[in-house]
Structures are given as C-alpha cells and as structure tokens.
Amino acid sequence: MKPESRKADKRPADNDPSAGAPSAQAAFTSYAAPLVDEAIEHANAVREDTSPEALHKLRVALRRLRSLWWAFDPLLEQGLSTQQRALYKYLATAAGKTRDWDILIELLAGDGHGARRVVDEMAPKLQDARGGALATSRETLSNADVKHLLREALSGASKELNTARERIPLRKFAAQRVAVSERSLKKRMKRARRAKPSNYAAFHDVRKAGKKLRYLLEFFGPVLSGGRKRTVKRLKQIQKRFGALNDVVASELLLHDNLALLTGAGDTDAALQWLKKERKRRMRAAAQLLRKL
C-alpha cells in the first residue's frame, strides 16, 4: 500500500464518526461507470461519425478517466492505476492524431490572419492527410477493443476497492486528493512564471495540472466543504488560454513534420511563419495570465 493510503481511516465504515457518509472505496464505481459508458459510446460513434466533435468527445472522456484513476491511485494496488492511465493515454492519442489535423485546418482557415488563401491552396492535401489519420485512428481503436478494455479495467478496480478492508470517508479522501492536485498546479505555475519565453514545456505542465484539478473538482465538488467557484473560474481561464497555446504549438509541429506529405500543396512556409507568430503571441498571452493569477 502506498504511503498516502496509510492515512486512511482503518475503522469499519459503520463505526466511522461520519456515519452515513459513503466511503471512497464504495463511491468509486458511481464515478467511474458513467465515464466508461460515455467513452465506449463515443468510441462506437467514431466508427460512423467523422466529425471533429466526435473525436474531441472521445478524447475528453478518456482524459477524465485518466484523472479519476489518478485520484483513486492511493487506494489501488501499486502499479494498477499507472497501467490504466497509460492505456487511456494510448487510446486518447489514437483519437488525437485525427483531431490534431482538424485543429490545424481550423487554425489556418480562421479569419483575420491572412492564412485563408494558404489553407484554400492546401485544403485537398490537408483533407487527405486528415482522412489517412482518421483511418488509422479507427483501426487502432477497433483493434484495441475499447469496450472490453474499459469494462475489464472498471471491473478489476471496483472489485479491489469493494473488498478492501480499509475504508476512508469519501469527503476526507476527496479533500486530500484535491489538495495534492492544487499543490501540483501551484508548483507548476510558479515554475512557468520563472521560465524563459521559449520554454513551452513549463506552460504545458500548467495546462495539464489545471485540467486535472478541474476534473477532480467536477467529480468531488458536491462532497467538498466550502465553495470552489473562484477556483473553477481560474481553471477555466487557464484551460482556455493555455489550450489555445497548445493548439498552435501542436499544429506548428504537425505541419513541420509533414512537409513532405504536403509538397506542392501550397505555400507551407507562409503557413509555418504565421503559426510561429501566433505561437509567440499566445505564449505572451499565457504568461500575462499567469502574472495575474
């Protein structure tokens, strides 16, 4: 058992002073089962629905599952949560390969930045590349048997937690895990404030930590004491500003890595130049937000 889990109240739930309150172990399935159903539904939808929204919903569902498994990591067998989070990341990456092309196309097609002509010229090959990525995404998700994998993971974790001898009140556990996530975010924000303007990795770490904390507050908000509206508002600001930065950074890398694929499709140099300028602009905007928070 991991060190943090030793802090759990070892008395039977019936003898706990907060009698009537559910334990974290007993509550796990009520959090995880709907997310598993949602992820399976979106994975099935991707077979028929080629829209960017279908892939985005699948990625979000898998990210939420990763955050939930991270939250319950102290209560699970050592290594089990890490393995499951790696699986969810693998599946999300499979869906993300297509979504990355969607974001690049959306960015270049946006109004007001002079790249509209570029994307018009590149459109046929961009769509071909997106189609190839979609075929790969579908094949990967199909071969992975998402439904079986997610159901099996849910069943194994639920069984382990429901048969555990130790019990910790859900409210206490939720407060502990949210506090850990909050400290992680603060640490990464401090590091990003001191980072050089070119250090995107530091900004990316803030985005990931902020997203995890937001998901945890969405899961555990109803059982936590005290209002969290101000925190959620800050997290939404971070997610929006840093997500916009991530979109342009990922698009710049994607275009650069696929120049050979887009040969003759148009002025890729002009597209890269615009993305570079936009990356710098969004980096400044992200840094400005950090100073205010």
Residue 232 to residues 42, 156, 237, Cα–Cα distance (Å): 26, 32, 9
- pLDDT of amino acid 11: 37
Note the pLDDT tens digit of each residue in 158-183: 999 999 888 999 999 999 999 999 99
- pLDDT of amino acid 118: 64
DSSP the chain: --GGGGGS--S-GGGSTTTTSPBHHHHHHHHHHHHHHHHHHHHHHHTT--SHHHHHHHHHHHHHHHHHHHHTGGGSPTTHHHHHHHHHHHHHHHHHHHHHHHHHHHHHH-TTSS-HHHHHHHHHHHHHHHHHHHHHHHHHHHHHTHHHHHHHHHHHHHHHHHT-S---BHHHHHHHHHHHHHHHHHHHHHHHHHS-TT-HHHHHHHHHHHHHHHHHHHHHGGGSSS--HHHHHHHHHHHHHHHHHHHHHHHHHHHHHTTTTTTTSS-HHHHHHHHHHHHHHHHHHHHHHHHH-
CA triplet 174, 178, 182: central angle to 5 degrees? 170
- d(CA 147, CA 41) in angstroms, rounded, equals 9
Query: Residues 6 or more apart from 78 whose CB is under 8 A from it?
Result: 1, 2
- d(CA 91, CA 43) in angstroms, rounded, equals 10
pTM for the full model? 0.84
Positions of the chain with pLDDT under 50: 1-20
Domains in the chain with CATH codes: 23-292 (1.40.20.10)
DSSP 107-157: HHH-TTSS-HHHHHHHHHHHHHHHHHHHHHHHHHHHHHTHHHHHHHHHHHH
- pLDDT of amino acid 8: 39
- pLDDT of amino acid 115: 57
